[in-house]
Structure 1
Amino acid sequence: MSYQWDFTPVLTRWPMLLDGLLNTVKIAAIAIVFGVLVGLVLALLRLSPRRILRLPAAIFVEFYRNTPPIVHFFWFFYALPVVLNISLDPLVAAVLALSTQSGAFYAEVFRGGIRSIERGQWEGAKALGMTHTQLMRRIVVPQAATRMVAPFVERSFELIKTTALASTLAYGELLYQAMMVNSETFRPLEVYTAVALLYLVLLVSCSALARVAEARLTAYR
């Protein structure tokens, strides 16, 4: 007996899925902003000639690169409040988990982009009398930014998909709202197919924006 698809119960509850999608965009946008800030600091520390600065940053990056994201969600939501004797709502805990984890990966993107600039260009700029600020602004950053677009976008896509783990903290992002819809409709195939399509639309839209940004960066350079 073939399965009879029926999206009507899902469509009648589209506001719930829309709220979930908006919450997914919200948490992803906040986490990307803070993740970039964390990543920039870590990248600068890892590029420092001082071992005392490089080592802690390297340990931080390796820790987050080699541990499961869901552990970070649980730690910030369940363990950190116990350690600091505070309370965190699911949004704050999820943003902390996503920001620190993505920051570790963004740090490697930034560090790799800067280090990809040939050493001869650094030395040539210094020979011309450029200050470090001029060197970074005129030579390094324009080239590195273009080279970093693809890995940065890829990492951001992973962050957006990882927001689904916030559902384990009862935060109302897309997957959590989908589970609520499924509990009311008992149509898991239709519900999770709709969720997959919504994620697809979101990421394809982000990909289109990234291509525009990359084209502008290339033209600027």
Structure 2
Amino acid sequence: MVINPQAFIDVIPFLIDGLWITLYITIFGVAIGCVIGTLFGLMSISRFRIVRFIAVTYVEVVRGTPLLAQIFFIHLGIPALIGHTFDPYITGVAIIGINSGAYIAEIVRGGVNSIDKGQMEAGRSLGLNSRQTMRYIIWPQALKVMIPPFGNQFVISLKDTSLLSSIAVAELMYSGRQYMTITFSAFETMFMVCIFYLIITIPASLLLRYLERRIDKS
């Protein structure tokens, strides 16, 4: 095999286009996942058994099935059932939201449960009801605990977007594969794809470590 140095440069414009789509899907998908995860995370600590059952079922189903299977189920399985196809990009955002939501739900549940039970009693002694105590006392403290895992989930979801190339979403991996098919520069292309992922994930990891240190000091 002969390495073509020029191929490292020529592939960059293709990957930049895919990079923007990767970031778009990740940001919007994880944002949806935060909403879903917060809702189901709070449901999982509800005093009502049926509410907890619904939350636990969602989390276990999503976490217990491969992401690739979820992608094909939503993009191919459901349309076959209802007779309506979805845009791959809508599927991409939805699946990242649904998948990350299950993990974020566990982050929320763990964060809230990490706060001493006496905090709820302290809120009651101040004349606050359960909802007010959660909002003003429990949640601010739990959020500090949840920030690092939230960041880790963002990085994981960003890398998970590479699986969306299987349904022709033109994200970073798909763009690299298309260029590789045209030029047959497999080594150079995949090397640059990995570099592009590292360009995103390494700064994100450094930011997470910085936030963790700040939280530990606070």
Do both share a fold (TM > 0.5)? Answer: yes
TM-score normalised per structure 1: 0.91
SS of the residue corresponding to residue 47 of structure 1 reads: coil
The aligned residue for residue 3 of structure 2 is: 5
Separation (CA, whole Å) in 2 of partners of 1:211 and 1:133:
32
Separation (CA, whole Å) in 2 of partners of 1:206 and 1:59:
31
Q: Pick from 27, 50, 53 the counterpart of residue 52 of structure 1.
A: 50
Runs (5+) with no aligned partner, structure 2: none
The aligned residue for residue 200 of structure 1 is: 198
Question: For residues 1-221 of structure 1, what are the structure 2 equivalents within 5 Å?
Answer: 3-211=1-209
The Cα shift of 1:167 comes to 0.1
* Deviations, residues 101-136 of structure 1 (Å, cap 9, x unaligned): 111110000111011101112212212223334422
The Cα shift of 1:83 comes to 1.9
Runs (5+) with no aligned partner, structure 1: none
- Which segment drifts farther, 75-84 or 124-133? 124-133
Separation (CA, whole Å) in 2 of partners of 1:201 and 1:49:
44
The Cα shift of 1:148 comes to 0.8
SS of the residue corresponding to residue 71 of structure 2 reads: helix
Asked if the contact 1:10/1:185 (under 8 Å) is kept, the reply is no
| RMSD of aligned Cα (Å) | 1.9
Count, aligned residues: 218
- Which segment drifts farther, 184-193 or 60-69? 184-193
